[in-house]
Amino acid sequence: MTASSNDMKSSRRAFLRGALAAGGTVAGASMAKAAGPDPLITEVQPWASGLGEGVDATPYGLPIKFESDVVRRNVEWLTADVISSINFTPIHALDGTITPQGCAFERHHSGAIELSKKDYRLMINGLVDRPLVFTYEDLERFPREQHVYFCECAANTGMEWAGAQLNGAQFTHGMIHNMEYTGVPLRTLLAEAGLDAAGDLSDKWVYVEGADASSNGRSIPMDKALDDVLVAFKANGEALRMEHGYPARLVVPGWEGNMWVKWLRRIEVADGPVESREETSKYTDTMADGTSRKWTWVMDAKSVITSPSPQAPIRHGKGPLVITGLAWSGRGAITRVDVTVDGGKTWQQARLAAPGQPMALTRFYVDHNWDGEEMLLQARAHDETGYVQPTKTQLREIRGLNSVYHNNCIQTWWVKPSGEAENVEIS
């Protein structure tokens, strides 16, 4: 251990002692008066005197250790094993809209595979003029586009259908990430293979599958394939992470995350859907009468307050409080978010940090003056089609309790006078 890091740690002791001496006045609502001079100010701190790390210390950096709780987490009992499973983005601790890739959620069906650019191949076959094989280098030669989109797992909030189960926005709403993608429109690749052989395109489909053992094959109608689907190779400026499909994945704006096929290896043009496992056994939504919806592709408008929330309690006492959260819609741009602090008796419009972008996360804020009493916090998203995020009761009246997927209900956090928050359902 170096001398300077020892200094740093003794200073942390001094800080703790200083905070104790100050007598906890930081929790007051009115402007606090210091009991005495703050040693963090009056004493020269080691970081203001000694040296920090050199520029050669960290060729590719990770977050500072004090942020070690801002990580992906999994819930063991949800799945039979950790290979075909899910983990959760720490949305309770993030702000803005872009998800850091290193803590962006993962969902695999046969694990995160390691596929080099050298070994990568993408095939287009089926009803095309010429079946083609592309290398990774080929992909980078096509004209590119950039877009920011959310990827939300169809099962996000799925554990909450029957009631309030998991205590934290990370767990109830964290099967989501939002990145800036660079890639090639799928329509450009299809044009390279030629669609004349497919004839009338209105009843044609593409079947997409990954290079992993699960394959995750899904059928997509041709009009979506030719509209805004991307074959992406960069996210948030750099190559995709291994666990997010390196070196190439499908980006399917607004549609359920399962269709965002990772490690994309094949695109087949066909005159019908394959009805694969991932669109029959899974990603079909069972209604109360026992029949099931299929092809529920779009993710409806949804929102959640990320702070305060069970993992982000209020620690500063009453007074100014930032209430913040995320809203999104697969139908288009978010136009408005309403927030209530009294369980829905009265609502106010939140402030959007930036105008909503189609099929991307939108950040909202309410600058609140907390009186220290309990609150029942909810947010309600509106999108450009006029769709308003429903309550769980409204959804249950139509769907029952067993549809597993597509739970976009309004979430309630019960904030207690202590500042702690809990996941609840209310009347």
Q: How far is the CB of 342 from other proteins (least distance, A)?
A: 7
Q: How far is the CB of 33 from other proteins (least distance, A)?
A: 28
Q: How far is the CB of 325 from other proteins (least distance, A)?
A: 17
- 303/411 Cα distance (integer angstroms): 8
List Cβ neighbours of 386 (8 Å cut-off, separation of 6 or more): none
Q: Which is nearer to other proteins, 30 or 291 (CB)?
A: 291
Helix (H, G, I), strand (E, B) or coil at 274: coil
Cα angle for residues 138, 144, 148 (degrees, 5° grid): 130
Q: Which is nearer to other proteins, 178 or 412 (CB)?
A: 412
Q: Which is nearer to other proteins, 137 or 367 (CB)?
A: 137
- 113/242 Cα distance (integer angstroms): 7
Q: How far is the CB of 357 from other proteins (least distance, A)?
A: 21
- 276/26 Cα distance (integer angstroms): 58
- 39/36 Cα distance (integer angstroms): 9
Q: Which is nearer to other proteins, 109 or 249 (CB)?
A: 109
Q: How far is the CB of 130 from other proteins (least distance, A)?
A: 5
Q: How far is the CB of 90 from other proteins (least distance, A)?
A: 11
Q: Which is nearer to other proteins, 7 or 43 (CB)?
A: 7
Residue 231 has a CB neighbour count (10 Å cut-off) of: 23
Q: Which is nearer to other proteins, 97 or 152 (CB)?
A: 152
Q: How far is the CB of 117 from other proteins (least distance, A)?
A: 15
The answer to whether the beta carbons of residues 22 and 36 sit under 8 Å apart is yes
Q: Bridge-partner residues for 150, per DSSP?
A: 178
Q: Which is nearer to other proteins, 123 or 148 (CB)?
A: 123
The answer to whether the beta carbons of residues 347 and 338 sit under 8 Å apart is yes
Cα 193 from chain centre: 34
Q: How far is the CB of 425 from other proteins (least distance, A)?
A: 4
Element (H, E) at 238: strand 238-239
Q: Which is nearer to other proteins, 9 or 316 (CB)?
A: 9
Q: Bridge-partner residues for 220, per DSSP?
A: 206
- 425/329 Cα distance (integer angstroms): 23
230-235 and 176-185 beta bridge pairing: antiparallel
Q: Which is nearer to other proteins, 19 or 376 (CB)?
A: 376
Q: How far is the CB of 31 from other proteins (least distance, A)?
A: 30
Residue 202 has a CB neighbour count (10 Å cut-off) of: 8
List Cβ neighbours of 126 (8 Å cut-off, separation of 6 or more): 207, 268, 269, 270
Q: Which is nearer to other proteins, 161 or 370 (CB)?
A: 161
Spell out the alpha helix ranges (H) of 150-255.
Answer: 169-173, 186-193, 222-225
Q: Measuring CA to CA, how many Å separate 405 from each of 28, 140, 214, 395?
A: 44, 35, 20, 12
Q: Where are the beta strands (DSSP E) in 101-144?
A: 107-108, 121-126, 132-135
What does the block give as tokens for 306? 């990320």
Helix (H, G, I), strand (E, B) or coil at 233: strand
Q: How far is the CB of 177 from other proteins (least distance, A)?
A: 20
Q: Which is nearer to other proteins, 28 or 316 (CB)?
A: 316
Q: How far is the CB of 49 from other proteins (least distance, A)?
A: 19
What does the block give as tokens for 261? 């096929």
